[in-house]
Amino acid sequence: MRKRYFFWCWLSLLMGGSSYGQTMEELREQIVQVLHNKSATVGVAIQILPSKDTLMIHSKLRVPMQSVYKFHVALAVLHQVDLGVLSLQKRINISEAKVKDYRHLYSPLCRKYLQGTTLTLAEVLSYAVAQSDNLACDILFELVGGPKAVQTYIHQLGIKEVAILHTEKDMQANWQRQFENWTTASAANRLLALFFENKKHLLSKESHGFLWRTMKATDTGKTSLRGMLPKQVVLAHKTGHSGKNAAGLTGAVNDIGVLFFSASSYAYISVFVSNSKESDTTNEKIIASIAKLTYDYLKKQ
């Protein structure tokens, strides 16, 4: 009997199974079921911490970022803050003409300040990241030297699988341009990890804390990563959405973030739904389902 007990223990370890938890392969199978029969291309990257177990599905495909790249822009801006080139207290004048120029795009800032306003850089960053404001994003681009300057900064961090070529205004003016602002799910996850772990002092303590609080306060994507999670779950994330073209095709519905079960158990998760013929509800449910399955995996570990 004793020998049989040790045999089964050995076999369980050999197969990577556990009577107390769930395997990554089981999680993969569940996610594959979510994606089954969906008329969309979906890139998924998940890394579980502290084990560093990873799950990748189409994670090296180039996918349009849409507003996810506002996370990249924020990193570049805060790097300039840390260098002393910019300050979070810098006052930025936003003219009435500028507001009128962006009123046709998604911009809570434009809706609130019809005659223009003056905001601090911290406020503009908050609009861009937490509210995914397009005018705020393009103001940030202007401050750091344009899209290619942001791309250069991200490449210098070692994240090469990303292209940032167009501002929000230019991207939204031409459907095809969103595909030129691309990343991979794997690269997005690595950038999340680089930011959250703040290795090599990517950002100062103050800048890191500011962006972390801002991403936790994200007000978009309530039916994406956040959609099926318990209300108390901590999630810091950034969304992206293209809307549909005349043919009913959705270019991108995305959400990337850091999802917590506890202070010591969390996951980096990036989900990009692109070229989808599904409804907005279905696209967002894909992301929400993957997040919920990931959370349940963390809970079982």
| pLDDT, tens digit (0-9, with 9 covering 90-100), for 83-102 | 999 999 999 999 999 999 99
Average pLDDT over residues 29-50: 98
- Does 269 score more than 80 pLDDT? yes
CATH number of the domain located at residue range(s) 21-300 in this protein: 3.40.710.10
- Does 19 score more than 50 pLDDT? no
- Listed as own residue / partner, the contacts of 50-54 with beta carbons closer than 8 Å and 24 or more positions apart are 50/264, 50/265, 51/301, 53/24, 54/24
C-alpha closest to that of 88 among 48, 55, 119: 119
- Cβ within 8 Å of residue 201, ≥6 positions away: none
Average pLDDT over residues 150-165: 98
Domain ranges of the chain: 21-300
Q: How confident is the model at residue 201 (pLDDT cuts 50, 70, 90)?
A: confident
Query: What residues pair up with 94 in beta bridges, in sequence order?
Result: 117
Average pLDDT over residues 97-112: 97
Which residue of the set 59, 67, 107, 289 is catalytic?
67
Q: What percent of the chain has pLDDT over 70?
A: 93
Average pLDDT of the chain, as a whole number: 93
Q: How confident is the model at residue 176 (pLDDT cuts 50, 70, 90)?
A: very high
Residue 168 bears catalytic tag: yes
Query: What residues pair up with 55 in beta bridges, in sequence order?
Result: 46
Residue spans of alpha helices (H) in 16-60 = 24-35
Residue 278 bears catalytic tag: no
Which residue of the set 161, 168, 278, 284 is catalytic?
168
- If one compares 75 and 8, the residue with the highest pLDDT of the two is 75
pLDDT digits (tens, 9 = 90+) for 188-197: 999 999 999 9
How many whole angstroms separate alpha carbon 289 and alpha carbon 77?
33
Q: Is the preceding peptide bond at 147 cis, omega within 30 degrees of 0? A: no
Task: Read off the pTM.
Answer: 0.92
Q: With beta carbons less than 8 A apart as the criterion, state whether 198 and 208 touch.
A: yes
Q: Residue 253: what pLDDT?
A: 98
